[in-house]
């Protein structure tokens, strides 16, 4: 067996991690022949709950789980990590303004970015799931000057999977027949799920479905507001599907995207499609050999460009807000 890959996970006693950790330990992330060491970060009051999660990991007797390290100090937990999942974040509480939310998360992602900079392995890849994910990724990468910016991604794969699911249900096909879905922009209600480049059995999804009213009035808002709908129905935010998407993103980043398809990843913009550099925005990406490439040359109509511009405007506002707070 090869040397264990060291994997940091933050927010490890939370609900997403209650699904995520077990999938990683089972081999779903890196394959059934790759041992892993889990290095789990929590805030001090949650360490006792985390000990309970570790007991359950022990009780699963996963052959690939080499060892588990837990703690409340990112400088210790991030030591030597090859992959880092930043899931723990500060949720918006009642009456909290966006500026307060960004500031509270800055207090988490600024020191975590620094700790990764100082202690992670040279090949570290960092995926931010904790919201506001794109801007938290920007804060973390801005505070890790020795790690290339493109090693910091944010999660829009859940939105991608949601869009694929909705298209499959509407078209009456298995989700495996849906490909080339793209989420543009922010992981928020302004995101733009693009059906014009998406395909169903190889044909343009918007042609196969041929129902503009449904695409505009059902599909877009359903994907954009799916998180809120799940909270409304379940009384808690999406957890299993968020863990699955977090695995999907990192799996594909490390092991490559399927031939002839792409995935949605929020990555530091290189200026493609008029998205300004200096923000972390979702694009269609392919991956190979542990690196991603933004898919260039996609057709973007005036309609799509206006939607992309709106979500990018939100990201630049968030960037300006965290800049004025001295977080980036």
Residues in region 88-147 near ligand NAX by CB under 6 A = 88-89, 91, 108, 129-131, 133
Residue 16 — φ and ψ, nearest 5°?
-65, -45
With respect to ligand NAX, which residue has the nearer C-beta, 5 or 154?
154
**Under rule CB under 6 A, residue 153 binds ligand NAX:** no
Residues in the interface with ligand NAX (CB under 6 A) total: 28
Of the listed pieces 85-93, 138-146, 196-204, 248-256, which binds ligand NAX according to CB under 6 A? Answer: 85-93
Q: Is 187 a catalytic residue?
A: yes
For residue 9, give Cα distances in angstroms to 103, 195, 312.
Answer: 22, 33, 28
Q: Is residue 162 marked as binding?
A: yes
Beta bridge partners of 211: none
Residues in region 243-282 near ligand NAX by CB under 6 A = none
Do you find a cis peptide bond into 132, omega within 30 degrees of 0?
yes
**Under rule CB under 6 A, residue 14 binds ligand NAX:** yes
Helical segments of the chain, H only: 15-26, 47-60, 74-77, 98-119, 133-142, 157-171, 205-209, 212-214, 220-224, 226-234, 240-255, 302-324
Residue 46 CB, nearest approach to ligand NAX (Å): 4
Given the residues 160, 180, 187, 249, the one annotated as active site: 187
For residue 220, give Cα distances in angstroms to 36, 160, 162, 183.
Answer: 38, 12, 11, 11
Of the listed pieces 51-59, 170-178, 198-206, 238-246, which binds ligand NAX according to CB under 6 A? Answer: 238-246
Of the listed pieces 8-16, 172-180, 211-219, 300-308, which binds ligand NAX according to CB under 6 A? Answer: 8-16
Q: Select the residue interacting with ligand NAX from 29, 42, 84, 285 (CB under 6 A).
A: 42
CA 328 to chain centre: 20
Sign of the CA dihedral with 276 first, then 282, 283, and 287 last = positive
- At 197, list the tokens: 């480049």
Catalytic residues, by residue number, are 187
Q: Footprint of ligand NAX on this chain (CB under 6 A)?
A: 10-11, 13-17, 41-43, 46, 87-89, 91, 108, 129-131, 133, 155, 158, 187, 227, 237-239, 242
């Amino acid at each position: 067996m090869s040397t264990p890959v060291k994997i940091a996970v933050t927010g490890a006693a939370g609900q997403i991690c209650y699904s995520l950790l077990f999938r990683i330990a089972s081999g779903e992330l890196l394959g059934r022949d790759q041992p892993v060491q889990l290095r789990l970060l929590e805030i001090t009051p949650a360490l006792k709950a985390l000990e309970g999660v570790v007991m359950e990991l022990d009780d699963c007797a996963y052959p690939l789980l080499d060892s588990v390290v837990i703690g409340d100090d990112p400088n210790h937990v991030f030591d030597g990590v090859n992959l880092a999942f930043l899931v723990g974040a500060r949720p918006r509480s009642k009456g909290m303004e966006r500026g307060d939310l960004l500031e509270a998360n800055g207090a988490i992602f600024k020191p975590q970015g620094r700790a990764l900079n100082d202690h992670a392995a040279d090949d570290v890849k960092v995926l931010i799931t904790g919201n506001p994910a794109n801007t938290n990724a920007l804060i973390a990468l801005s505070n890790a000057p020795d790690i290339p910016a493109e090693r910091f991604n944010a999660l829009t794969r859940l939105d991608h999977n949601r869009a694929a699911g909705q298209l499959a249900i509407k078209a009456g096909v298995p989700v495996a027949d849906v490909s080339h879905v793209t989420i543009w922009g922010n992981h928020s209600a302004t995101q733009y799920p693009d059906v014009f480049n998406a395909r169903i059995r190889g044909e343009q999804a918007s042609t196969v479905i041929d129902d503009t009213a449904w695409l505009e009035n059902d599909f877009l808002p359903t994907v954009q507001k799916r998180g809120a709908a799940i909270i409304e129905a379940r009384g808690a935010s999406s957890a299993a599907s968020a863990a699955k998407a977090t695995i999907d993103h990192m799996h594909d980043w490390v092991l490559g995207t399927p031939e002839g398809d792409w995935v949605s990843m929020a990555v530091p913009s290189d200026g493609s499609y008029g998205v300004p550099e200096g923000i972390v925005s979702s694009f269609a990406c392919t991956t190979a050999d542990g690196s991603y490439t933004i898919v260039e040359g996609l057709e973007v109509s005036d309609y799509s460009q206006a939607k992309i511009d709106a979500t990018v405007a939100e990201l630049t506002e968030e960037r300006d807000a965290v800049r004025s707070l001295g977080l980036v």
